[in-house]
C-alpha cells in the first residue's frame, strides 16, 4: 500500500485551476457604449466673471462640460472695449493671436480641438485700462460641435464697464497714521512698476521730481518723503465716493513704482490708470521717451509678480515667484 501511495501524484487533475473552467460558466456580452447616445442638451455651461484683481481687471471664462461625452471644434470669441489692453493671461500655454480692433471694439479669438466629458476649461484674461471716463461692455460667445455633429452656441450676458476719472481732495494726516491705514482689515494694495526703455541710465532725481509734481497736480496731500531713499507718501480722499487713498511713489532698482492702498479696489484701478498715464504723457512731452511703447510694466506674464529690477534690453529675467523666464524688452 505504501508503494502505491508513493506512485500517486499529489496534484490530481481535478485540483488544477484550469479544470474548473466548465462549460456551465457563461460569459456575458458587454454592452457597447457610444458617445452618440449621450444627451448633451443643457449640459454644456458657460460662466463669466469680471472683477478687479491686483493692478488689473480680470475677466474669467469657464466652459463646463457636464455631459458624458466630449465636445469638439470649440471656438471662443471675447469682445471687449477698445480702451482695454491685454496685460497677461492664464494659462500661458494657450495661444492668443493679435487682437482685432473695429468700431471701438476689440476681439480675442481662441480655439480648442476638444473638451472631454466631465471636464472644464477656465481662462483668465487680465486687462489694463488705458483711458478714463470711458464705458463699454465685455462678452463671450462660444461655438462648439456636439456629439450629434451639430453646432451649438453659448452666449454670455454682456458686462457693462465704466472707468471713471477720480477727483481727489487733499487730506492731512500724520506720518504715524500711514502704518495703521495700510494694515487695516479689508485694505487693498496695488502696484504699477515701470521700466523706461532708453539708452541713457535712469536718473533717480529727475523721475523723483516728476512723481512729486504729478501727485501735487492731482491734489494729493504730502505726508512725508525720504529724499535719500527716493520715496514719497501722499494721502487724499476721492470726493465722489468719499474713500481714502494712500499713494506712494518711489525710484528703486532702475525702475519707477507707483503704489496705492484703499478699501475700494475699483478706485485703485482708476488711480493707477490716471497717474501712470500722467507719468507717460509727461515723459513724452519732455522728450524723455518717444512713445508709450518705450515704457514697460515690470510684472511676470505668468503670475503677475513684480520683478525686483528692470533688466537690460534682450536680457532674460526669471520670476522669483513662479520661476517663469521671460524677456521684458
Averaged over 109-124, what is the pLDDT? 95
Tell whether omega for the bond before 91 is within 30 degrees of 0, i.e. cis: yes
* pLDDT given for residue 95 in this prediction: 84
Query: Model confidence over 20-52: pLDDT tens digits?
Result: 444 444 444 444 456 667 888 899 999 999 999
Ordered by where they begin, the domains of the chain are: 42-163 (2.60.40.690), 168-297 (3.30.310.10)
When mean pLDDT is compared over 24-38, 82-96, 179-193, the highest value belongs to 179-193
* pLDDT of 216 higher than 50: yes
* pLDDT given for residue 26 in this prediction: 46
Neighbours of 53 (CB within 10 A): 17
Query: What is the DSSP code string of 40-72?
Result: -TT-EEEEEEEEEETTEEEEEEEEEE-SSS-EE
- Higher-pLDDT residue of 15 and 181 is 181
* pLDDT of 225 higher than 80: yes
Give the range among 157-166, 196-205, 251-260 with minimum mean pLDDT. 196-205
Amino acid at each position: 500500500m505504501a508503494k502505491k501511495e508513493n506512485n500517486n501524484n499529489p496534484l490530481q487533475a481535478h485540483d488544477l485551476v484550469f479544470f474548473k473552467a466548465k462549460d456551465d460558466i457563461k460569459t456575458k456580452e458587454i454592452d457597447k457604449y457610444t458617445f452618440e447616445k449621450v444627451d448633451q442638451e443643457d449640459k454644456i455651461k458657460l460662466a463669466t466673471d469680471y472683477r478687479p484683481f491686483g493692478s488689473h481687471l480680470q475677466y474669467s471664462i469657464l466652459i463646463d462640460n457636464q455631459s458624458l461625452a466630449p465636445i469638439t471644434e470649440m471656438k471662443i470669441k471675447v469682445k471687449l472695449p477698445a480702451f482695454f489692453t491685454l496685460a497677461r493671461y492664464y494659462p500661458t500655454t494657450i495661444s492668443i493671436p493679435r487682437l482685432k480692433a473695429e468700431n471701438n471694439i476689440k476681439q480675442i479669438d481662441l480655439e480648442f480641438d476638444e473638451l472631454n466629458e466631465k471636464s472644464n476649461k477656465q481662462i483668465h484674461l487680465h486687462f489694463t485700462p488705458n483711458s478714463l471716463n470711458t464705458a463699454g461692455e465685455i462678452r463671450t460667445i462660444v461655438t462648439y460641435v456636439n456629439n450629434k455633429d451639430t453646432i451649438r452656441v453659448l452666449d454670455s450676458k454682456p458686462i457693462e464697464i465704466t472707468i471713471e476719472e477720480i477727483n481727489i481732495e487733499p487730506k492731512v494726516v500724520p506720518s504715524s497714521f500711514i502704518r495703521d491705514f495700510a494694515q487695516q482689515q479689508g485694505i487693498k494694495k496695488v502696484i504699477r512698476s515701470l521700466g523706461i526703455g532708453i539708452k541713457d541710465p535712469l536718473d533717480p532725481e529727475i523721475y523723483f521730481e516728476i512723481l512729486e509734481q504729478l501727485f501735487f497736480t492731482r491734489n494729493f496731500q504730502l505726508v512725508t518723503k525720504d529724499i535719500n531713499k527716493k520715496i514719497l507718501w501722499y494721502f487724499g480722499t476721492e470726493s465722489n465716493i468719499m474713500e481714502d487713498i494712500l499713494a506712494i511713489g518711489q525710484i528703486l532698482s532702475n525702475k519707477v513704482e507707483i503704489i496705492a492702498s484703499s478699501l475700494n479696489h475699483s478706485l485703485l484701478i482708476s488711480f493707477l490708470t490716471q497717474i501712470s498715464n500722467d507719468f507717460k504723457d509727461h515723459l513724452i512731452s519732455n522728450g524723455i521717451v518717444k512713445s508709450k511703447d518705450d515704457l514697460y510694466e515690470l510684472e511676470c506674464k505668468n503670475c503677475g509678480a513684480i520683478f525686483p529690477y528692470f533688466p537690460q534690453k534682450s536680457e532674460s529675467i526669471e520670476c522669483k515667484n513662479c520661476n517663469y523666464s521671460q524677456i521684458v524688452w
